[in-house]
Amino acid sequence: MSDRWTACKLWCLDQVLVDRGATDFDFRVAYFIGHRMDRASGEARVRQEDIAKAVGAKQRRSVQRSIERLCGLGHLEVKQVTGRSNVNGYRLPLEKASFKTPFDDQNVSAETPFGGIKGVPNNDKRRPKQQEKASRHSHTPFLLPLNLPTPRGAALADVLAPLGEKLAARIGADKAQSWFNRSEVVDLVDGVLTITAPTKFMRDYIIAHFDPVLIEVSAKLAPVTRVEIVIASQGAAA
């Protein structure tokens, strides 16, 4: 990759992704901070309230705990700024980037999907098998079609009801839960499937990373040729 700045950010995000001590929410926070980092200063000066709004968190405290966890794991650095009107600076440790992804030296096993990765702490001991198994099956429903008050809406709900489950099987339950747990199907008209996202940040991420997969999975259930992602309030008003 010719853009060293972008390559370093992606490397740092890869470390968060495979670290078992980091949660799906932590990755979203880290991704948003990386997205807002300024090339000149190397920092993202953004309020925790704005981070919470962007990643769909209901409380600022959730972001604060996530930042503390990311710092403790070495994935984030904070430049404290005093004064009420000042905003702390956040940065990913770009200088650590080795330009070798944590997936290059995988020694995949049943117990440790990312075992044997150089430079990445193995935190499996923190998470017993029973707890990990329970977490995989404790996800709330997502991508459930709305119950539209028309015969066509009821038929659409029946056809697309398995969409969330099919998507989770395609991209992984944790990733699907992280990015789609607050999404809903709004409608399907002329081959265009409309799905909501809670924030602009999450909408943009879904479009950039999951658009082809959404079309592929939904097309197996209904005649879908294109997927449109709208912010939830816009979808409700449509």
pLDDT in tens, 207-228: 988 999 999 999 999 899 999 9
**Residue 197 backbone phi and psi in degrees, to 5:** -135, 145
56-68 pLDDT tens trace: 888 889 999 999 9
**Percent of the chain having pLDDT more than 90?**
29
Domain topology for 139-237: GMP Synthetase; Chain A, domain 3 (3.30.300)
* Residue 115: Cβ-neighbour burial (10 angstroms; 0-12, 13-18, 19+): middle
Class of domain 4-131: mainly alpha
29-72 pLDDT tens trace: 999 999 999 988 889 999 999 999 999 888 889 999 999 999 98
Report the SS3 class of residue 116. Answer: coil
Pairing of strands 184-189, 144-145: parallel
Measured distance between the N- and C-terminal CA atoms of the chain, rounded to whole angstroms: 41
b (16+ CB within 10 A) / e for 181-194:
bebbbbbbeeeebb
Structure tokens at 5: 């700045």
Domain segments of the chain as ranges = 4-131, 139-237
Q: Is the pLDDT of residue 97 over 60?
A: yes
Structure tokens at 50: 């704005």
> Which residue's structure tokens are 């909408």?
203
pLDDT of res. 90: 93
The answer to whether 197 and 183 are in contact (CB under 8 A) is: yes
Between 74-88, 156-170, 213-227, the lowest mean confidence (pLDDT) is in 74-88
DSSP type of residue 59:
-
**Measured in whole angstroms, how far is the alpha carbon of residue 48 from the centre of its chain?**
17
Nearest C-alpha neighbor of 202 from the set 232, 171, 172:
232
Q: Is the pLDDT of residue 140 over 70?
A: no
Q: Is the pLDDT of residue 109 over 60?
A: no
Give the alpha-carbon dihedral of 54, 57, 60, 63, to 10 degrees: -80
